[in-house]
Structure 1
């Protein structure tokens, strides 16, 4: 383009203008988000819930058959020492029954609390769950020596063993690597802003 053309009013070529700076930084702040837990954690949660259902059925069953099952408990106590009066055996049977019933209820409440803590990713919950399983297995084995006789006792034995098996499987599912990683992370974090993102200006 000649000088005369430029002077006549034709626009002169200008270098490209620099881009306007972004008003948002790429280094966005961390934001807490709620991501779904991995499959292992969901499986662990399902197994725990199933164990609660079985434990609840066992508690209700033990309460319903109390009158019919007390003679079996009394006979089991008489095997240990048969020289006591009948009233003593009846009282001992009541003590054994209510101790077993109360322990099963307390165990259910403790395990429900521990599951809530586990799903909240509280540290060290698995050790408490393992300790609960060990206590459950030991005391169940001891209780079944007394309350596990008779037709009602056999049904109760199946329910207790099924509950312990489900708890053991739940602990195994909650101890695989994806579940351990999910717990160790404590919080799900992403980079961004809370709510809808602002458009670039």
Structure 2
């Protein structure tokens, strides 16, 4: 007696077999970006022109700070020169009057320079925060600095230290003026006009923020 084992039936190869599903088109994967997602404020690096502007501004402030410190250090050497400049205007006064006038001129110029530096630091922070009008206000401070420079050139920046002071003041004014010029490049203007960097989509993890 022989054992008859049932033979396996092959699957049909027609349209009704399992291979019929292979011709079906797989559904598309859902998109990761939702066009209806709420806008998200993100932190993006500023354009190159803004970075150059910031660098020039900082260098100008450093040059101005060095000039103010140097101006204070050479005070004792500058006061006699200021007295002589005042005496040349009107030589009929007493010596104490010239000394008082020299002190007033010196400290007025000194605190004027300090005030300009503080204002420019504040304006730099405002500019990096994309505040309106920061460029114009900085330009006005440059005009004020130029006026103060002319006064200092006539009465304060005299003697062997006068040439160094004039060079420092000129470097500071040139750097700040160049920073204002670079800040008017198209990329910098667009960056300021945007106020905030906004995009749609999921919020990126803190580690992936630039």
- TM-score range, shorter-chain basis? 0.7 to 0.9
Given candidates 182, 190, 193, the residue that maps to 1:181 is: 190
CA RMSD of aligned residues (A): 2.3
1:139 aligns with 2:139: no
1:83 aligns with 2:92: yes
Q: CA deviation at 1:31?
A: 1.0
Q: CA deviation at 1:17?
A: 9.3
TM-superposition CA deviations, 1:1-25 (whole Å, max 9, x none): xxxx9xxxx77x6896994995966
Q: Distance in 2 between matches of 1:21 and 1:173?
A: 46
Structure 2 gap segments, 5+ residues each: 1-11, 206-210
Cα–Cα, structure 1 residues 71 and 193, in superposed 2: closer, same or farther, change >3 Å?
same
Correspondences of 1:105-144 after superposition (within 5 Å)? 105-144=114-153
Q: CA deviation at 1:39?
A: 1.0
Structure 1 gap segments, 5+ residues each: 197-201
Structure-2-length-normalised TM-score? 0.82
SS at match of 1:151: coil
Aligned residue for 2:5?
none
Which is higher, the Rg of structure 1 or of structure 2?
2
Between the two proteins, the alignment pairs up a number of residues equal to 189
Given candidates 41, 46, 67, the residue that maps to 2:55 is: 46
Q: Distance in 2 between matches of 1:37 and 1:21?
A: 35
Q: Comparing 15-24 with 96-105, which one deviates more in the overlay? A: 15-24
Q: Comparing 175-184 with 14-23, which one deviates more in the overlay? A: 14-23
